[in-house]
Every structure is written in C-alpha cells, then in structure tokens.
Amino acid sequence: QVQLVESGGGLVQAGGSLRLSCAASGRTFSSHAMGWFRQAPGKERDFVAAISAIGGRPYYADSDKGRFTISRDGANNTLYLQMNSLKPDDTAVYYCAAARTRLVSITPADYPYWGQGTQVTVSS
C-alpha cells in the first residue's frame, strides 16, 4: 500500500503560480512512477503530468507543457507539481497518484493509489 496526501492548493489569479506537494508513505516511493491528474466538475479525470521511478523522466499533457513542472524528492518521499501561468481552465481538484509499476502511464486505471485531492481555483 501507498498512502498519499496532497497539499498546496488554493485560490490564485490568472497568471499566478502554485506548487502542489504530495507526501507519500508506505511502500518504497522509488518503486512507483508518480502522476498528477485533475478533475473539474462534471468532467472526467484528466492526465496532467507524470514522472518515471527510474531517472525521474517527466511527461506532460500537451495543454500543460511549458507551464507545469513535475519533480520528485526521493529522500523525502515527496512529489511536486509547480504550476505557472495558471489559467481559469486549470481550475479543478488535483490528485496525486502512484502507478502500479515504475513505468509512466497517462491512464488513471494504471494508478491504484490516490490521494484525497486538493482544490485549485484560478480566477479571471
């Protein structure tokens, strides 16, 4: 089992920045690829970014490239998502997730472990 707790969400104006954190505990953090997903009201849960367990290679949704940066701190078992140039369309609940394996996936079904989510609201 992997337990995940997100923090860092909040209300920000368009063009602003937020950094989300996800503290992991339980099974070895380095055994899992990690990802961020988001879900807006009435919409499906969408892939935002992911990072591989080996080498820390990042992957991003096309809509987030150049604005978001995913990173992981193995020493502190923490995953981060730095979000810059935020837009009202980025408003959603953001979820941290741990993949079943070390391999990155953009599919929520490949992530059996989820945090409770943190709300990000971007005002225009």
DSSP state of 75: T
Could you read off the pLDDT of 48-78 as tens digits, one per residue?
A: 999 998 888 999 999 888 999 999 998 899 9
Mean pLDDT of 98-112: 94
Question: To which residue do tokens 């837009």 refer?
Answer: 87
DSSP state of 66: T
Q: Rounded to whole angstroms, what are the CA distances from 83 to 47, 98, 101, 109?
A: 14, 20, 26, 24
pLDDT of residue 37: 98
Q: Rounded to whole angstroms, what are the CA distances from 74 to 47, 55, 66, 100?
A: 22, 11, 24, 17
- Cα–Cα distance measured from residue 37 to residue 109, given in angstroms and rounded to the nearest whole number: 12
Q: Which percentage of the chain shows pLDDT scores above 90?
A: 82
